[in-house]
């Protein structure tokens, strides 16, 4: 069981500000973001903030689902979910592309779009849920809250009988065994500059069964 018991809640646009803050802290030190948004160049934090802001804003503006973990009403973990019918189409929005160009610059926007297209090329055929962003706030990592978030996510996705599973990707080697332990299969690798991005697929999520006392 998690060291801290968190409440699971579906999130709407009322959580936009909290979601942006959480995901910024969860992703600012991730290897993939460090490459895409040029951590070695001044203004990196602002570019990460801008990217997370635009992704979260676009997600909620399209009424796409998001699931969160809260402790004492503080959002400490979450996942953005792209359902099978609308998966990963955010970069098709010209408004989103223009905002990214204005806030992160041409080179970083181009890198992000190339990364996005490469991930798309790895995805298996068929309907499934995709997780554009998922994270636990650094202050709450190491408390098995990631397991709780995945369990809640799989239970929610299992309600969609038309979905074949869940897809996510990570360039952080620290997470590889974590996802494999929780039923994810690696289905592809993508070179993102010097980073190897791993694409994972969890087939046919089923409701977690609680052990009886």
Find the distance separating the first CA and the last CA of the chain, reported in whole Å: 13
Q: pLDDT at position 213, please?
A: 37
Q: How confident is the model at residue 124 (pLDDT cuts 50, 70, 90)?
A: confident
The answer to whether residue 210 sits within a structural domain is no
- Sheet harboring 129-130: ordered strands across? 129-130, 165-170, 195-203, 185-192
Q: Is residue 1 part of a domain?
A: no
Q: Is the pLDDT of residue 71 over 60?
A: yes
What is the predicted pLDDT for the residue at 211?
40
What one-character DSSP code corresponds to residue 82? B
Residue 193 lies in a domain: yes
Q: Could you report the per-residue pLDDT of 125-148, keeping only the tens digit for each? A: 889 999 999 999 999 998 999 999
Q: Which domain holds residue 95?
A: 7-203
**Would you say residue 145 lies in a domain?**
yes
Question: Number of folded domains in the chain?
Answer: 1
Q: What is the pLDDT at residue 178?
A: 96
Look at residue 2 and tell me if it is in a domain: no
Task: Give the mean pLDDT of 194-209.
Answer: 82
Largest Cα span, the chain: 57
Is 213 inside any structural domain?
A: no
pLDDT given at position 187? 94
Looking at residue 154, which CATH number applies to its domain?
3.40.630.30
- Model confidence at 205, pLDDT cuts 50, 70, 90, reads low
Please state, rounded to an integer, the average pLDDT across all residues of the chain.
89
């Amino acid at each position: 069981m998690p060291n801290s018991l968190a409440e699971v809640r579906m999130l709407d646009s009322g959580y936009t500000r909290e979601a942006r803050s959480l995901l910024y802290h969860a992703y600012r030190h991730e290897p993939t973001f460090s490459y895409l948004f040029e951590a070695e160049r001044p203004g990196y934090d602002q570019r990460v903030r801008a990217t997370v802001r635009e992704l979260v804003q676009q997600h909620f503006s399209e009424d796409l689902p998001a699931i969160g973990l809260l402790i004492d009403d503080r959002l400490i973990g979450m996942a953005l979910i792209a359902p099978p019918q609308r998966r990963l189409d955010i970069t098709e929005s010209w408004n989103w592309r223009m905002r990214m160009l204005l806030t992160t610059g041409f080179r970083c926007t181009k890198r992000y779009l190339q990364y996005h297209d490469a991930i798309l090329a790895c995805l298996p055929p068929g309907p499934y849920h995709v997780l554009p962003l998922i994270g636990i706030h650094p202050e709450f990592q190491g408390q098995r809250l990631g397991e709780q978030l995945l369990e809640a996510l799989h239970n929610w996705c299992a309600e969609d009988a038309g979905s074949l599973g869940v897809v996510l990707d990570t360039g952080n080697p620290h997470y590889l065994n974590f996802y494999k332990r929780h039923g994810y299969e690696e289905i592809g690798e993508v070179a993102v500059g010097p980073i190897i991005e791993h694409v994972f697929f969890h087939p046919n999520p089923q409701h977690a069964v609680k052990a009886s006392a």
